[in-house]
Amino acid sequence: MISLSDTSLLAGLNEDQARVVASPETDLLVLAGAGSGKTRVLVQRIVWLVRQQGLSPHQILAVTFTNKAAREMRLRLENQLGVSLRTMWAGTFHGLSHRLLRTHWREAGLPEHFQVLDSDDQKALLKRQLKENQFDTERYPLRQVQSFINKNKEEGRRAENVVAQGEIDQMFLKEYFVYEHTCRRQGLVDFAELLLRALELLRDTPSLRHHYQSRFAHLLVDEFQDTNRLQYAWLKTLRGEEGRIMAVGDDDQSIYGWRGAQIENIHHFTEDFPQAVLHRLEQNYRSTGTILAAANGLIQNNQGRLGKSLWTDGAQGDPIRVYAAFNEQDEARFIVDIIQQHVREGGLRSECALLYRSNAQSRALEDALLRAGLPYRVYGGQRFYERMEIKNALAYLRLMVNRQDDGAFERVINTPTRGIGQTTLEKLRAHARDEGQGLWDASLSLLATGSLSGRAASAIKGFVQLIESLDEQSMTLSLHETVEQVVEQTGLLDFHASEKGEKGQARVDNLKELVSAVRHYEPALPLTGDDDPLLNLEGREALGVFLTEASLDAGDNQADEDQDAVQLMTLHTAKGLEFPLVFITGVEEGLFPHQMALEEGPDRLEEERRLCYVGITRAMKTLYLTHAESRRIYGKDTFCRRSRFIGEIPSQWLHEVRLRAAVSRPMMPSRQTSTPQWQSAATLAQASLAERALRIGQKVAHKKFGEGVILQAEGEGDRTRLLINFEGVGEKWLVLGFAPLQPLD
């Protein structure tokens, strides 16, 4: 029996970590809380098995979820063991499965030089197949067929094992059979097939199964809570009867159920391996005591947890700030003000992270950062105006403004699909080259001469009429109404709404956010007065300026990799990262937790709560939770309720703030509070009006737009924005500091 204090292999570990590293040779389930040093424990466990138990590194198989994590693990091990571990079996599920199949291609029924398909390759193959089979991709998009095939593979089901539920599934299943046949004939293996084929190889070849079960005395798997059904079956098969498995994970950080992860795997581990010993790593080395107490209080609302409570021997830290913004612009301005203060006090921009539930939320945040001149980087994703669905919508608008924009024409001619194939497009391109025309004029020419086939002619004619109709409508519509008509009438909204899961919903949210962005659009150049040509732009002129600025936003403002820049990312992307100053934005019912989760039931709601827990534990020192009293969604103001998640955090850890004022909840439950002395964002805006003898509901006169009534105000000081309904003109947003308004009563 080795004392936990008598070996250098355990130096620097806390008592719980040391117990895991020096555990006897048995199955282990390690509940490793956020910031508890689990990577170090994994590495030291392997070193212990090699140095103390006498195992060869080649008797150990380590599974991670990213190639980067596998490389880092191998590098740490090489530094400690002093030998090259290039051939050690350490990698991702897909990488290790690929290695197994390359080694035993013949037994797996594969050609020696089989090819691996990535997601785009698989999509291209299915596209050709569906076209040959005359599959109706307008009613049932290709991505639905691809999702059906991959989901069944990840559940371990070949086409012959699938029981079709209804007519649509029967259609998809038929294509699954054809796809399998094509892949076998051509020697192709997609990502899901790598795991499924590797599992079948071990299951159906006893000699190989026994060989690898004997070879790998210990299996270690990281992020176990994120395994799906197929991956868990892969691990159990490889472990066998004599091997040992160490699963490291955290059921409180299981946030990928929407892409197949099964939280049940970690919950059932001790049932599947009755001899397994459960360890908990609860000491956190990242966050303050306040942040950990808030996270613990929140996650206790989930049922069926394996249970743990994070703690630290570090500082208690400041309370968590909760900011109730008037709307998303006020929310973004507040965040920018805090970041600028952080920088003035000597902090780095890269220490600041803005986290959000939906990609669509980044638009208002990006806009505020741009206007403040703060460089930023969207981590693990695309900036708002670079996203595919946004570029598609902007391409329609560009084509309305300029019919000679061939790039826009090619982007949207068959998006959504209209049955315009490559043959027709090549004919258009050839005619355009021969006649020195743009693609739009070439289309009109070929339609006029009857040079296109009946189906192609009908599709091209429909597209031309759509653009002409949208252009004609835009002459009498406001800018945001024009954009709203485009995303609806082009079919882009329905096209992306038909996508299953989070990706489709995110694209719909982004398109809706584009409409909101245009409704609040102000030219980036400074407004110098009523005669400024960029003030109160209307119609086609406004659309042209907006498209120009959107194009600039999509290009030059992304910070360089080595530049000190604010970090923006979704909460899912933030997992595994940490920052001194964190903002979790849009903490509102229907946004976070997301409306889809609320509609799908308690399991999804619990996953949303785990996602909030992950977000909170990204913060090292300072955490802000922000929510808006109203948020413009699809061009309409929606009144929001702050998220239940804020209410589930024990009140003693929260401190509510308002712009230029604050109110604290008690730090101890027994302490009494006085009446809050703060002003809401709406009150601040009204105070700014009062300084100029104005108020909500007042009639005013404007020298250009005539008489109107002030309907709404937001912001503060000269930046206050007013929504005014002018007689015969309609509603206009004006900036108080630059609007020459005369009170009439």
pLDDT single digits (tens) 598-638: 998 899 999 999 999 999 999 999 999 999 988 876 556 78
Q: What is the pLDDT of residue 192?
A: 92
The structure tokens listed for 172 are 């998809």
State the catalytic residue, choosing from 223, 250, 389, 588.
223
How many Å apart are CA 741 and CA 726, to the nearest integer?
12
Q: What is the pLDDT of residue 555?
A: 47
How many Å apart are CA 340 and CA 555, to the nearest integer?
24
| Phi, psi (degrees; rounded to nearest 5) at 324 | -100, 105
How many Å apart are CA 531 and CA 519, to the nearest integer?
22
Q: What is the pLDDT of residue 635?
A: 58
First-last CA distance in the chain: 90
**560 among known catalytic residues:** no
State the catalytic residue, choosing from 39, 92, 340, 638.
39
Please say whether the dihedral angle defined by the alpha carbons of residues 725, 729, 732 and 734, taken in this order, is positive or negative. negative
How many Å apart are CA 593 and CA 573, to the nearest integer?
17
DSSP character at residue 314: S
Residues of the chain falling short of pLDDT 50: 1, 523-537, 552, 555-556, 660-681
Angle between helices 454-474 and 539-553 (to 10 degrees): 110
How many Å apart are CA 348 and CA 346, to the nearest integer?
7
Question: For the segment 179-217, what is each residue's pLDDT rounded down to a tens digit?
Answer: 999 999 888 899 899 999 999 999 999 999 999 999 999
Domain boundaries, the chain: 8-104+195-283, 115-186, 320-383+557-678, 386-519, 682-743
Q: What is the pLDDT of residue 226?
A: 93
Give the pairing type, strands 244-249 and 218-221.
parallel
- Average pLDDT score over the chain: 85
Among candidates 425, 496, 495, which has minimal Cα distance to 460? 425
Calculate Rg over the CA atoms of the chain: 30
The CATH code belonging to domain 682-743 is 2.40.10
Residue 481's CB is within 10 A of a number of other CB atoms, namely 16
Strand order in the sheet with 579-584: 376-378, 566-570, 352-356, 579-584, 619-628, 320-325, 654-658, 661-664
State the catalytic residue, choosing from 16, 17, 38, 513.
38
Q: Which CATH class is domain 115-186?
A: mainly alpha
State the catalytic residue, choosing from 122, 137, 144, 253.
253
Distance of CA 602 to the CA centre of its chain: 21
State the catalytic residue, choosing from 16, 190, 193, 222.
222
Distance of CA 50 to the CA centre of its chain: 40
* pTM, 2 dp: 0.73
Q: Which CATH class is domain 386-519?
A: mainly alpha
Residues forming beta bridges with residue 280, ordered by sequence position:
31
How many Å apart are CA 417 and CA 137, to the nearest integer?
8
**107 among known catalytic residues:** no
Cis amide bond preceding 24, omega within 30: no
Contacts of 174 (CB under 8 A, 6+ apart): none
Cis amide bond preceding 593, omega within 30: yes
Residue 88, CA atoms < 13 Å, CB-side half-sphere? 27
Q: For residue 453, give the 3-state DSSP assignment.
A: coil
The structure tokens listed for 281 are 């790593």
For residues 559 and 375, the answer to whether their CB atoms sit within 8 Å is yes
Contacts of 735 (CB under 8 A, 6+ apart): 522, 527, 718, 719, 720, 721, 722
**618 among known catalytic residues:** yes
For residues 442 and 435, the answer to whether their CB atoms sit within 8 Å is yes
The structure tokens listed for 73 are 């693990």
Among candidates 84, 71, 73, which has minimal Cα distance to 44? 73
Q: Where are the extended beta strands (E) located within 510-653?
A: 566-570, 579-584, 619-628, 630-633, 636-639
Q: What is the pLDDT of residue 50?
A: 93
How many Å apart are CA 408 and CA 167, to the nearest integer?
37
- Three-state SS string over 633-658 comes to ECCEEEECCECHHHHHCCHHHEEEEE
Residues forming beta bridges with residue 325, ordered by sequence position:
628
**39 among known catalytic residues:** yes
Would you say how long the chain is, in residues? 745
Q: Calculate the CA dihedral of residues 434, 436, 440, 443 and round it to 10 degrees.
A: -30
Give the pairing type, strands 320-325 and 619-628.
parallel
For residues 96 and 216, the answer to whether their CB atoms sit within 8 Å is no
**223 among known catalytic residues:** yes
Among candidates 270, 299, 268, which has minimal Cα distance to 282? 299
The structure tokens listed for 310 are 């994070």
Contacts of 646 (CB under 8 A, 6+ apart): 322, 587, 625, 627, 654
Give the pairing type, strands 579-584 and 619-628.
parallel
- Per CATH, 8-104+195-283 and 320-383+557-678 having the same topology is answered yes
Q: Calculate the CA dihedral of residues 667, 668, 669, 671 and round it to 10 degrees.
A: -90
- The architecture (CATH level 2) of 320-383+557-678 comes to 3-Layer(aba) Sandwich (3.40)
| Phi, psi (degrees; rounded to nearest 5) at 649 | -80, 130
**512 among known catalytic residues:** no
Residue 405: what residue type?
D
Contacts of 509 (CB under 8 A, 6+ apart): 358, 359, 360
Q: Which CATH class is domain 8-104+195-283?
A: alpha beta
Residue 675's CB is within 10 A of a number of other CB atoms, namely 5
For residues 502 and 258, the answer to whether their CB atoms sit within 8 Å is yes
State the catalytic residue, choosing from 411, 575, 618, 658.
618
Phi-psi region of 35 (alpha: psi -120 to 50; beta: other; left: phi over 0): left
Alpha helices by DSSP H, listed for 526-592, are: 539-553, 571-574
